[in-house]
Amino acid sequence: MANIAFIGLGNMGSPMAINLVKAGHQVCVFDLADEAVSKVVAAGAVTKKTAAECVQNAQFIISMLPAGKHVDAVYLTEKTGLINYIEPNSLVIDSSTIDAATSCKVAQALAQKKIGFVDAPVSGGVGGAVAGTLSFMVGGSLAEFEQASPILEAMGKNIFHAGEHGAGQIAKACNNMLLSILMIGTSEALQLGMANGLDPKVLSNIMSKSSGSNWTLDVYNPCPDVMDNVPSSNNYQGGFMVDLMAKDLGLAMETALASHSSTPLGALARSLYAMHANTGNGSKDFSSIFNVFNLPSK
């Protein structure tokens, strides 16, 4: 069993850290919010006054933070950054969804101190984090991937080696861009059918068994009351927030710009999600984009 420091105990980090405790690891946790720390300590983790104290003697340091600026600050801030406290030969696993450039910058800085790094963003949402069934998209050397894998297995079901540092973040940006396009397309098709008299349950069943089948139709239908236990049937509460999807689409567009890639549907999806967030829907689940295509009430 390993000594693990876990930094960032939000919606995702908290259940991930609890699964590490359940797997028998020694886990020292830190978050700026005391409430978040207490919950994970109650499940068997320990804590220290600062993140710097937590990482001392840790073989693995896992972070689950909101965005690139947080990851950069936590590891690389002069004097107080964790880079000054982590032991050589230990491995940093950053599971935050951030830009690949920041992942590579942190990886290079840590390598100067003989500290390993993988970017390991996840897919599967809060439900997957609680159930321990996340998918991890890992960027780093093969040796770093093999070092990280036994730890990631306590939190996830599918562990993929995407390539070198930053490749995990690129894979995550591609996946979420595709997911947003599928969610928008499914919403449009369902609204078109409903506007022309079709029952959304009947139409969903037809399309999910036909060539329009996709993940959003099969397990995450955006139309209320077609499926039980999905955010659309719970007033779009829980699940994956519009604000986070808008952030991820921004990352996908930065990636496209940097590589001169043409992503017309991704660009439109980013714009639609930004508009949806800016009209008061940022904290709803991302399937609420369905309502953008409602017919005006007569």
Place of tokens 């861009």: 177
Q: How far apart are CA 158 and CA 81, in angstroms?
A: 31
Q: Which is closer to ligand NAD, CB of 13 or CB of 116? A: 13
Binders of ligand NAD in range 46-85 (CB under 6 A): 51, 64-66, 70, 74
Residue nearest to ligand NAD (CB): 10
Residue listed under structure tokens 């982590």? 86
Distance CA 140, CA 143 (A): 8
The CA-atom distances, in angstroms, between 91 and each of 144, 162, 195, 298 are: 8, 18, 54, 60
Based on the shown chain and the rule CB under 6 A, indicate whether residue 282 belongs to the binding site for ligand NAD: no
- Residues in the interface with ligand NAD (CB under 6 A) total 25
Indicate the residue among 10 and 44 with the shorter CB distance to ligand NAD. Answer: 10
Of positions 25, 31, 37, 167, contacts ligand NAD by CB under 6 A: 31
Q: Would residue 172 show up in a list of annotated catalytic residues for this protein?
A: yes
Which one is catalytic: 49, 114, 157, 172? Answer: 172
CB contact at 8 A, 83 and 113: yes
Nearer to ligand NAD, 74 or 107 (CB): 74
Nearest distance in Å: CB 209, ligand NAD: 28
Q: Shortest distance, CB of residue 280 to ligand NAD, whole angstroms? A: 19
13 binds ligand NAD (CB under 6 A): yes
Task: Please report how close the Cβ of residue 194 comes to ligand NAD at its closest, in angstroms.
Answer: 28
Q: Nearest approach, Cβ of 21 to ligand NAD (angstroms)? A: 17
Active site residues: 172
Chain positions contacting ligand NAD, by CB under 6 A: 7-13, 30-33, 36, 51, 64-66, 70, 74, 96-97, 122, 125-126, 240, 244
